[in-house]
Structure formats: C-alpha cells, structure tokens
C-alpha cells in the first residue's frame, strides 16, 4: 500500500512537471511556426516563388514543429487529471477506426487479422481515451516489426469482462524491460521516435476504466498486450 501511495504521488508530481513543460514549450513552438510562415510569405511577396532549397528547409522546420507538437500533446495527455465523461462505447468500432487511421501511415505491408468473438462489445468508458490506448498499442506493434509483419487482434467476453488481445510478431521485449513498460518516459526507441509516454498514459486510462493492461513478450518472437475491461 505504501508503494502504491508513493507511486501515485510520484505520478502526480510528474504530471505537474509534464504540464509545465508542455505549456512552456508550446509558445516558442508557435514562434517557430509563425517564423516559417513569415519566411514563406516574404518570398511569395518579393519573388513570387519559393526557391527549392528554402522550401526544403521550411519543410524540415515544419516537420520538427509537428513532431514537437505531438510530444506536447502527449505531455498534456499524461498530466490530465480527471476522468472525462463516459458513454456506452463500441469496442469493435473503436478498433476499426484506429486501423483506418493507422492504415494510411503504415509504409510497408502489415497483415492484420481480426478475430472478433461477437458482433458488438459495449463497455462503459470514454471513447476518445480508449481510442488513444488502442492507437498507442497498435503503433508500438507496427514500430516493433520489420518485414512480414503480422498483427492479430482478438476480442472476447470472459467472466463478464471484455478482453482485447493484440499480438504482434515484432522484435519482442527483453524480460528485464517488461516491468518498466508503463513507467513514464521509459523508451527503447531512438530519440525522435519515442517519448516513452504512450504506455504510461494507456495504463492510467485503463486503470481509470477499472480495467487492466497486461504484457507478455518473447524476445525475437513478438509481444501480446491484453486489455481487460469491465462491461
Ligand atoms: P514509446 O513508444 O514512445 O517508446 P511506450 O510507452 O508506448 O513509449 O512504449 C515503451 C517501450 O515499450 C517502447 O520503447 C518499447 O521498447 C516497448 N514496447 C511497447 N510495445 C512493444 C511491442 N509491441 N513490441 C516491442 N516493444 C514494445
């Protein structure tokens, strides 16, 4: 119990810190974005065109700004305090929406297999938050695989609970890392690719839904993430 208290105290402190950083970083980001737009407008006005080399520099500024804005959004999400409103939400619909969104981002071929046990699984929860959790899990799965990627998504009802099981055949997770996955800022990805906030946010959301998120992995073989939610 003491451990748990210490952990929630730490998370609360980190939340305040994260919100502060997000807020502070956001305004210089606006200047950078505004500056890039200003340079573009300057060339349009004086030369009627933007030279290719300037254009490619502006593109890389914009890419950096977008990436930073994503990080700011993750920090904000991480520090979010109270639960948002709950509705009856259709899990299969959320999964399908996530797959559609990610489908446009996957650059190489990933086989997605769905095994939905029944037509609808309805849980009480916040649609936007559950959507975020599933996006995080699928994004990790996609980033973990190289070629011949396979993701299997299974849903079922068990003991009056919904189980969502995501299995990938990616690179897997080292046994000593398994317990660290949901620690804020834990990442094994190269800088620029991961913030290490995805699973910590996901765990917080699932706990707020009175559910559980479980990880099982074999290095070199793949990873299974299971979400259990009360109906
Ligand atoms: P990030 O994706 O920004 O690194 P996450 O909290 O989403 O942050 O994930 C933390 C770490 O967990 C990842 O850096 C990775 O090492 C590991 N991980 C999560 N999901 C998977 C997966 N499906 N396969 C392999 N490693 C994973």
What would the mean pLDDT of 39-61 be, rounded to a whole number?
A: 95
Q: Please write the tens of the pLDDT for every residue from 128-155.
A: 889 999 999 999 999 999 878 999 999 9
Please indicate whether residue 202, judged by its CB atom, sits closer than 6 Å to ligand 1. Answer: no
Q: Which residues, listed in sequence order, are joined to residue 155 by a DSSP beta bridge?
A: 116, 164
pLDDT at 83: 62
Count of C-beta atoms within a 10 Å radius of residue 82: 5
Q: Phi-psi bin for 22: left (phi > 0), alpha (psi -120 to 50), beta? A: alpha
Residues 6+ apart with CB under 8 A from 225: 137, 140, 141, 165, 166, 213, 214, 215
pLDDT at 193: 77
Name residue, tokens 């490619």.
56
Q: What is the pTM of this model?
A: 0.82
Q: Please write the tens of the pLDDT for every residue from 53-78.
A: 999 999 999 999 998 998 898 888 88
Query: Is the model's pLDDT at 3 over the cut of 80?
Result: no
DSSP state of 179: G
- Mutate which of 138, 165, 181 to test ligand 1's pocket (most atoms within 8 Å of Cβ)? 181
ipTM, two decimals: 0.99
Please indicate whether residue 145, judged by its CB atom, sits closer than 6 Å to ligand 1. Answer: no
Please indicate whether residue 40, judged by its CB atom, sits closer than 6 Å to ligand 1. Answer: no
Greatest Cα pair distance in the chain: 69
Cα separation, 92 vs 130, whole angstroms: 11
Query: Rounded to 5 degrees, what are φ and ψ at 167?
Result: -120, 130
What would the mean pLDDT of 204-213 be, rounded to a whole number?
A: 94
Q: Please write the tens of the pLDDT for every residue from 155-193.
A: 999 999 999 999 999 999 999 999 999 998 899 998 777
Query: Rounded to 5 degrees, what are φ and ψ at 165?
Result: -120, 120
Contact 172, 188 (CB under 8 A): no
């Amino acid at each position: 119990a003491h451990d748990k208290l210490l952990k929630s105290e730490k998370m609360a402190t980190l939340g305040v810190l994260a919100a502060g950083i997000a807020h502070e970083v956001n305004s210089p980001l606006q200047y950078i974005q505004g500056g890039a737009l200003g340079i573009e407008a300057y060339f349009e006005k004086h030369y009627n065109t933007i030279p290719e080399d300037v254009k490619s520099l502006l593109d890389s500024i914009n890419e950096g700004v977008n990436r930073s804005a994503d990080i700011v959004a993750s920090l904000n999400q991480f520090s979010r305090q109270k639960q948002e409103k709950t509705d009856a939400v259709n899990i299969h619909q959320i999964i399908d929406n996530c797959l559609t969104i990610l489908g446009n981002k996957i650059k190489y071929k990933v086989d997605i297999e769905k095994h939905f046990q029944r037509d609808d699984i309805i849980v009480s929860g916040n649609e936007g938050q559950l959507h975020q959790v599933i996006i995080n899990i699928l994004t990790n799965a996609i980033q973990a695989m190289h070629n011949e990627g396979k993701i299997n998504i299974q849903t079922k009802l068990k003991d009056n609970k919904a189980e969502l099981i995501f299995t990938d055949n990616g690179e897997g997770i080292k046994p000593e890392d398994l317990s660290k996955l949901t620690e804020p800022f834990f990442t094994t990805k190269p800088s620029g690719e991961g913030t290490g906030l995805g699973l910590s946010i996901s765990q917080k959301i699932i706990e707020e839904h009175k559910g559980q998120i479980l990880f099982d992995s074999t290095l070199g073989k793949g990873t299974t993430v299971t979400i259990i939610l009360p109906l």
